[in-house]
Amino acid sequence: GAVVSQHPSWVICKSGTSVKIECRSLDFQATTMFWYRQFPKQSLMLMATSNEGSKATYEQGVEKDKFLINHASLTLSTLTVTSAHPEDSSFYICSALRDRGTYEQYFGPGTRLTVT
């Protein structure tokens, strides 16, 4: 159990376009999900905390108008990179916090975004 999926696993888009990434908890409910960004050979940088039914909480320095987060249900959060630029190219990883027990955090496999 405790599987988190992300779709797509990789995407290439042109500058100026928008890209939506989905994060789903497949077999558990998650009121809270997190979106991370990882640059090559670096650690995970928390971008925002996504809460079902309310606005996301963004970390300092993360543009909320550029990285739109929608947590529409207890099993789905989406991250939309708007007007993408090459510097947005990165590995985006989501995680879901299980709504019971020890509130363990489970990670998705990541989405590699390349903006040309």
Partner 1 sequence: GEDVEQSLFLSVREGDSSVINCTYTDSSSTYLYWYKQEPGAGLQLLTYIFSNMDMKQDQRLTVLLNKKDKHLSLRIADTQTGDSAIYFCAERGNTGGFKTIFGAGTRLFVKA
Pick the closer one to partner 1 by CB: 34 or 84: 34
CB of 81 to partner 1, least distance (A): 18
CB of 25 to partner 1, least distance (A): 14
From the list 12-20, 68-76, 78-86, 104-112, the region that binds partner 1 by CB under 8 A is 104-112
Q: Which of residues 57-76 bind partner 1 (CB under 8 A)?
A: 57
34 binds partner 1 (CB under 8 A): yes
Question: What does the DSSP assignment read for the chain?
Answer: ---EEEE-SEEEE-TT--EEEEEEESSS--SEEEEEEE-TTS-EEEEEEEETTS--EEPTT--TTTEEEEEEETTEEEEEE-S--GGG-EEEEEEEE-SSTT--EEE---EEEEE-
Residues near partner 1, by CB under 8 A: 6, 32, 34, 42-44, 46, 49, 57, 93, 95, 97, 102-110, 112
